[in-house]
Chain A
C-alpha cells in the first residue's frame, strides 16, 4: 500500500477559513503530503486555518511535528489555527506528549472562533 493511499487531504474554503481535512493515517511516510498542502497558497489568505482531524485514525510524532509547524507558520502569517479532535489514538498521542493542552481545539471544523 502506498503512502498516498493511507492519507487523504481535502482543502476547502468556508467564509473566514480554510479547512484542511485529514482522513486515514498520518506518519513519517506521508507527512510530506501534509507539509506541501500546508504550504499551498490557498491557505495564506484567510483569517483562520482549521485542521480537521476527525477522520484521522493514526498520528505519530512526525505527523505531530508537521501539525505544529503548520501552526507556527499560521501564527507567523497572523492567522488563527485550530484543530478538531481526532480518534482516540490521536487524542492519546496529543495527551502523552503534552501538546494537546497547547493546541486550540474546536468541536467541529465550522465552529466560530471567539
Chain B
C-alpha cells in the first residue's frame, strides 16, 4: 500500500531523465539482457502490452522480488502503459532499474494530465470510472507524477520488503 509515502507531484523538467549513478557494476552471472544497476529502456505500443507484462514479471523475478509484490508491480506498470496507449499518443517508453531497496518503473508518453492528482480517490463501482492510477497508487510504495507540455512521466517504486 502507498501508506506512509505521500505521492509526489513534480514537473517533468525536475525529474532526471536517467537514474542517479550507483556504485557497483553488473553482477557476474546476471542475465545479459537485464544488467543489474543499469537503466533498461523499452518502447511500447498497444500490441506490446502482453509482452510488456511478461518482461516486467521476468525482470522482477530475476531481481528476486517476492511473487505477490511482483504481481502488483506488473499490474501497475500495465495500467500506466495502457494509459499511454489510450491517452498518451498511443505509444510510450518504459524504463526499469533497481535501487538497493526497490524496483523502479517509469512510464513516459506524450500525453498531458489535466489533473496530476488523478487516481487519489477511490473510484466507485460504475463501469465508466477510471481506475488505472488508483490501482498503481494502491499497489506501489511511491508514485511520482510529472506532467506538462512535454508529456507525462509516472514513476513507480516497489520495495522488496
Shortest Cβ gap from A13 to chain B (Å): 25
B71 touches A25 (CB 8 A): no
From B6-14, B78-86, B109-117, the one touching the partner chain is B78-86
Identify A89's interface contact among B71, B125, B129, B131, CB under 8 A: B71
B126 within 8 A of A: yes
B79 touches A29 (CB 8 A): no
Identify which of B46, B49, B53, B78 gathers the most chain A CB atoms within 10 Å of its CB: B49
A27 touches B122 (CB 8 A): no
Shortest Cβ gap from B46 to chain A (Å): 7
User: A residues within 8 A CB of B129?
Assistant: 65
A81 within 8 A of B: no
In the bound assembly, the distance between CA atoms of A69 and B126 in angstroms comes to: 8
Task: Decide: A61 near B125, CB < 8 A? Known: A25-B50, A29-B50, A96-B139.
Answer: no
A88 within 8 A of B: yes
The A interface is mostly helix, strand or loop, or mixed, namely helix
A29 touches B126 (CB 8 A): no
Task: Decide: A60 near B78, CB < 8 A? Known: A68-B125, A68-B126.
Answer: yes
B154 within 8 A of A: no
Our count of residue pairs bridging A and B at CB distance below 8 angstroms stands at: 71
Task: Decide: A99 near B125, CB < 8 A? Known: A61-B132, A88-B71, A89-B75.
Answer: yes
Q: Which interface class (under 10, 10 to 19, 20 to 34, 35 or more) fits B?
A: 20 to 34
B135 within 8 A of A: yes
Shortest Cβ gap from A94 to chain B (Å): 10
A102 touches B82 (CB 8 A): no
B71 touches A92 (CB 8 A): yes
User: B residues within 8 A CB of A27?
Assistant: 49-50, 78, 82
Tell me the A residues contacting B by CB distance below 8 Å.
Answer: 1, 3, 6, 25, 27-29, 58, 60-62, 64-66, 68-69, 71-72, 88-89, 92-93, 96-99, 102-103
